[in-house]
Amino acid sequence: MRPGECAARSARLILDGMPRSSVLVLVLVLAVLLGARALAAVEPFPPPPPPRGPVVILTRHALDGRGGELNDARIGVADGRIASMNASPGADVIDLRRYTVLPGWIDVHVHLASHFDKNGRIATESEPAPEAAMGIAQAAWDSLMGGFTTVQSVGDDSERPLRDAIRDHGFPGPRVLTSLSWIQGDASIPDDKLREMVRERKANGADLIKIFASTSQRVGAKPTFTEAQLQVLCDEARALGLRSMVHAYRSQVAAAARAGCNEIEHMTYATAEEIGVAAKAGAYLSPQVGLVVQNYLENKDRYIGVGNYTEQGMATMEKDLPEDFRVCTIAAKIPGAKLVFSTDATAGAHGHNAEEFLGRVAHCGITPMQALVSANRVAAEAIGLGDRIGTLAKGYAADIIALDGNPLEDLSAVRRVVFVMRGGVVYKWPGAGRP
């Protein structure tokens, strides 16, 4: 007997002698029940288990991701985690003693969906869906190959299937957290509607909420939401267990921090006092100085003509780059400020995220070690995973990278990522040649 046949047969027995309307209702209820049964009969595939191991990684010089240096650590990896920092050599040995070993980096602000189309131009919504899907997958792969084992992608609904494929089906890429589509600032939106927008994203699987509190720098960097609206949004996010990230310029930096939002992006044109308010409120601060604008300028012809990518907008970004350096330097000097690694990488920049390390050291007055820790411990804490990633220590995820060179002496080593392991899976290895 096939599933459902038995229920159908018993139903036929009950039907005799019932009024027609009741029969109709019963048939409908039965149809719903059988339908639900058919759906429930199939479960999603379980995620593939991490490699069991054990694998032992031999190191000479390693950074622990929290500001410490380790000598001659033997990192034991089993079941996707770091099982020991002093392992005895096991069956499989990966010898990274020629390199500097550190936890995989974390970029808390990228746009994986942003890519160039087959003609080399910035892709728009008119791009065929299969090509868009390949574009976002390529951006994820490039980020991973650049040493970024976790990225927070903030701005597109297509980030969810990508996140899920990587997390649940072994698709190659970094661990992805997503805001799905961002909430565009508009002072006329009533509070109820704002709360609904947050709830909708939570229901659709968002890991955080991304809010635009200012227009783009290319069109004036003007305020869009009121402080009260920001409070409604960030309160609702918190109530649902979501973090909030705010794109903010000028006085919106302090407004977003006072509203209790967790992370403030860009901060361009803010005063020292406004940045101080944000730091004191405990918000994570992420100015960008080394990649996003430089990439726009390098690829100007690929962007111009779409949306607010205009000659004038590009000129504004170029002219005001020193503004970005200024706000970054101010933030870096505030004791206790939580300066987190974030690039805002768009098309052309994926895989080059590490340029931001060089920019931060060159333009914000911080040390290479501070810059590196901002993409390990600080970034892990900023995305709520401080106890699971961003540190080389027993119990943490086996997200491990190696650089050809010592970045504390020659920071350009961040451009030479020769080994990438995420969750115990090796994606790039010097012994395997360049992918």
The contact set with Zn ion (CB under 5 A) reads 344
Write down the least CB distance from residue 366 to Zn ion, Å: 22
Write down the least CB distance from residue 276 to Zn ion, Å: 24
Contact status, residue 332 vs residue 365, Cβ threshold 8 Å: yes
- List, in order, residues 6 or more apart from 350 with CB less than 8 Å away: 110, 112, 115, 138, 139, 142, 143, 146
Going through 180-300 in order, the beta strands assigned E by DSSP cover 208-212, 243-248, 263-266, 284-286
Write down the least CB distance from residue 234 to Zn ion, Å: 18
Q: Which C-beta is closer to Zn ion: that of 77 or that of 151?
A: 151
Q: Please tell me the distance from the alpha carbon of residue 233 to that of residue 210, in angstroms, as a whole number.
A: 10
Q: What is the dihedral of CA 223, 229, 231, 234, to 10 degrees?
A: -90
- List, in order, residues 6 or more apart from 26 with CB less than 8 Å away: 11, 14, 15, 18
Q: Which C-beta is closer to Zn ion: that of 146 or that of 155?
A: 155
Write down the least CB distance from residue 208 to Zn ion, Å: 13
Q: Which C-beta is closer to Zn ion: that of 328 or that of 400?
A: 328
Q: Which C-beta is closer to Zn ion: that of 236 or that of 344?
A: 344
Write down the least CB distance from residue 182 to Zn ion, Å: 8
Write down the least CB distance from residue 319 to Zn ion, Å: 20
Q: Which C-beta is closer to Zn ion: that of 50 or that of 290?
A: 290
Q: Give phi and psi for 208, each to the nearest 5.
A: -160, 170
Q: Which C-beta is closer to Zn ion: that of 142 or that of 344?
A: 344
**Cβ atoms < 10 Å from Cβ of 430:** 15
Q: Which C-beta is closer to Zn ion: that of 324 or that of 344?
A: 344
Q: Which C-beta is closer to Zn ion: that of 159 or that of 344?
A: 344
Write down the least CB distance from residue 111 to Zn ion, Å: 6
Q: Please tell me the distance from the alpha carbon of residue 79 to that of residue 63, in angstroms, as a whole number.
A: 22
Residue nearest to Zn ion (CB): 344
Write down the least CB distance from residue 110 to Zn ion, Å: 8
Residue 2 exposure: Cα atoms within 13 Å on the Cβ side: 5
The strand pair at 81-84 and 243-248 is best described as: unpaired
Q: Of 46, 58, 48, 52, nearest to 80 (Cα)?
A: 52
In order of 3, 7, 14, 155, the CA distances from 11 in angstroms are 14, 6, 5, 50
